[in-house]
Amino acid sequence: MKKILTTFLLAAFAVSSIFSAGKVKRLDDSKVVDLNGYWNENDVKIVCETLIEDCISSPRIAKFEKTNGRAPVVILGTIKNESAERIDTTIISKKMQTAILRTGVLEFVADASERGELRDEVKSQADHASEDTAKAIDEEEGADFMLQGSVKTIVQKEGKKSIRTYYVTVNLTDLQTHRIIWEGDNSDAPVRKYFKQSAVKL
C-alpha cells in the first residue's frame, strides 16, 4: 500500500513540475490575439469605441445639459449577457463609464455593487469622524439616467466551420419617466468571427 501511495505522489509531483515549467511570454498590446474565436478584450475595445462616440454626441444629452445647466448624472445598470457563451459584461459597462467620464459629457454615481461599502463608511463617519469632516447621511446625489444593455450572438455552423456575430446594444433611460434618452448598437460594424475546428491528432 505504501509503495502504491509513494508511486502516486511521485507521479503527481512529476505532472505538477511539467506544468510549472511552462514558459510565460508577455504579449505586445498592439497585437490582436484570438486563440479560440470567442469574445475577448479586443472585441470589448472595438464595441466600446463605437458606442461611446455615439453616446457623447447624442442631441438629447446635449439638450438635457442646456435645459438643466449641468451634465446628466448616470448610474450603471446591468448589461445582460444573452449570448451563447460566458461573457463578463461588467467589463463593457466599466470601460464605457471610464471613457465617458473622461469626456466630461456625463457624470456617474456609484453603482449598486459599490454603494453598500460607501454607505457603511458614511455611517462610520457619523460615529467616529469630527463634525467638520463627517459626511451627512441621505445626501447622495440621485442619478438622472441608468445605463443598461445586452450582448447577443448569432452562430452559424456548417460541419467544423462556424461564424459568430456579436451584437451589443446599450441605452440610457430616464429614471423619472423611463423614457429612453439614447440607444446605440454596433450593428453597423458587428464583431464577426470565422472559426474552423482543427482535427485532433491522437
Q: What is the pLDDT of residues 135-172, one digit of tens each?
A: 998 899 999 999 999 999 888 888 888 888 889 999 99
Per-residue pLDDT band for 19 (boundaries 50, 70, 90) equals low
Average pLDDT over residues 32-56: 78
Q: What is the pTM of this model?
A: 0.77
Is 142 or 34 the better-scoring residue by pLDDT?
Answer: 142
What percent of the chain stands above pLDDT 90? 56
Cell of 72: 446628466
- Answer yes or no: are the C-beta atoms of 79 and 89 closer than 8 Å: yes
Rounded Cα distance between 62 and 80, Å, is: 27
Mind giving me the DSSP string for 49-71? HHHHHHHHT-HHHHHHHHHHSS-
Residue 35 pLDDT = 55
Question: pLDDT tens, 68-87?
Answer: 999 999 999 999 999 888 88
For residue 183, is pLDDT > 50?
A: yes
Residue 25 pLDDT = 64
Average pLDDT over residues 26-34: 54
Residue 202 pLDDT = 45
Cell of 39: 469574445
Residues whose CB falls within 8 Å of the CB of residue 192, separated by 6 or more in sequence, listed in order: 163, 164, 165, 166
Q: Select from 149, 165, 155, 144 the least CA-distant residue to 75.
A: 144
For residue 22, is pLDDT > 50?
A: yes
Cell of 22: 511552462
Average pLDDT over residues 96-110: 95
| 155 SS3 class | strand
Question: Mean pLDDT, the chain, as a whole number?
Answer: 84
